């Protein structure tokens, strides 16, 4: 079974108007979650009166005074296509620490980690973060280059999960995979052409720490990523055919991993 990473409708997202060190999050839900997240360094908050009324319960937790704006002349530097709902907040990206710190294996601990190899669509990554949070993944790890950065579009798609689910962007994915293997993780790479199913591989590897690697559209996992995996696996499909979007594939793989551990 294969899966695809959809291309973003607007590849630039809202990055064109952000500085490298800050991110503009937008939309009622994303702004609420950022306000309520004590880990967020909040720099500027812009709200319309309607948005301020809807966020009244979260404003005291944010520790930042909002700038009130006219909805017809909303001053936040967002992409014109952004559905901001009258709410935008400038923040610094979250710092979740290092792979070794976040993914350390504790006693009687069997964590699951997701590895994204060049998944560049923020909508897909946002959906993956939601699934990772639901199924209890320890972290989502992606390379800094050719992956979706932390943006307003990603945060909106994540529907709050960006504030709670660790999303680490590392200089080199293969090195991070090797570090996970040294820590005791078994890495399963999803590949539609692999002979073994994910269920069969999980039966073999038992309940130990697992990392699931997923690739982007077209070629999927890069060759070096494949070579660094312990095993390549596929998701079984009815009739032996079909395709899944990468965010759906991540959800299925996480569910299968959790089911095999019960």
The third-level CATH classification (topology) of the domain covering 96-260 is: Alpha/beta knot (3.40.1280)
Q: Span 6-19, mean pLDDT?
A: 38
Tell me which of 168-172, 177-181, 192-196 is least confident: 192-196
Distance CA 33, CA 50 (A): 18
Nearest alpha carbon to residue 47 among 67, 64, 65: 67
Mean pLDDT, residues 8-16 taken together: 37
pLDDT tens column, 102-145: 999 987 788 999 999 999 999 999 999 999 999 999 999 999 99
Question: Binning pLDDT at 50, 70 and 90, where does residue 7 land?
Answer: very low
Percent of the chain clearing pLDDT 70 (strictly above): 88
- Answer whether residue 16 shows pLDDT above 80: no
Helices of type H across the chain: 28-35, 49-54, 59-62, 99-102, 122-134, 152-158, 173-183, 198-205, 223-228, 246-260
Q: Is the pLDDT of residue 81 over 90?
A: no
Name residues whose C-beta falls within 8 Å of residue 179's C-beta, 6 or more positions apart in sequence.
99, 100
- 227's CB contacts (< 8 A; 6+ apart) are none
What is the Cβ-side half-sphere exposure of residue 90, based on CA atoms within 13 angstroms?
17
pTM of the model: 0.87
pLDDT category, 262, cuts 50, 70, 90? low
Q: Where does the pLDDT of residue 84 fall: very low under 50, low under 70, confident under 90, or very high at 90 and above? A: very high
| Domain boundary assignment for the chain | 15-91, 96-260
Average pLDDT, the chain: 88
pLDDT at site 110: 87
pLDDT of the residue at 1: 43
Query: What would the pLDDT profile of 182-203 be if each residue is shown by its tens digit?
Result: 999 999 999 988 999 999 998 8
Interval 228-253: pLDDT, tens: 999 999 998 866 666 788 999 999 99
pLDDT at 5: 46
Return d(Cα 29, Cα 50) in angstroms, integer: 14
Residue 133, pLDDT score:
97
In which residue are the tokens 């939601």 written? 130
Question: What per-residue confidence (pLDDT) applies to 19?
Answer: 41
Q: What is the pLDDT of residues 134-164, one digit of tens each?
A: 999 999 999 999 899 999 999 999 989 999 9
Using CA atoms, how far residue 191 sits from 83, 87, 256, in Å, is 35, 40, 15
Domain 15-91 is in which class? alpha beta
Closest by Cα among 152, 142, 111 to 213: 142
Return the structure tokens found at 235: 């998701």
Q: Mean pLDDT throughout 31-51?
A: 96
pLDDT confidence tier of residue 205, bands split at 50, 70 and 90? confident
């Amino acid at each position: 079974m294969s899966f695809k990473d959809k291309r973003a409708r607007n590849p630039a997202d809202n990055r064109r108007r952000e500085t490298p060190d800050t991110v503009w999050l937008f939309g009622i839900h994303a702004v609420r979650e950022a306000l309520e997240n004590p880990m967020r360094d909040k720099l500027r908050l812009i709200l319309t009166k309607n948005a301020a009324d809807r966020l009244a319960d979260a404003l005291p937790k944010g520790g930042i005074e909002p700038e009130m704006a006219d909805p017809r002349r909303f001053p936040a530097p967002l992409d014109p296509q952004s559905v901001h709902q009258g709410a935008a907040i400038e923040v610094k990206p979250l710092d979740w620490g290092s792979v070794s710190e976040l993914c350390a294996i504790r006693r009687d601990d069997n964590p699951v980690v997701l590895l994204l190899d060049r998944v560049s669509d923020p909508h897909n990554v946002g959906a993956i973060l939601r699934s990772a949070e639901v199924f209890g993944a320890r972290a989502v790890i992606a390379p800094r280059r050719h992956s979706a950065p932390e943006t307003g579009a990603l945060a909106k798609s994540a529907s709050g999960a960006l504030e709670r689910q660790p999303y680490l962007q590392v200089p080199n994915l293969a090195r991070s995979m090797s570090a996970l293997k040294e820590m005791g993780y078994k890495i399963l790479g999803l590949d539609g052409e692999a002979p073994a199913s994910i269920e069969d591989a999980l039966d073999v590897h038992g309940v130990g720490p697992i990392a699931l690697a997923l690739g982007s559209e077209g070629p999927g996992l890069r060759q070096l990523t494949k070579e660094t995996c312990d095993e390549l696996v596929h998701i079984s499909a009815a009739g032996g055919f079909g395709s899944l979007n990468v965010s759906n594939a991540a959800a299925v793989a996480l569910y299968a991993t959790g089911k095999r551990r019960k």
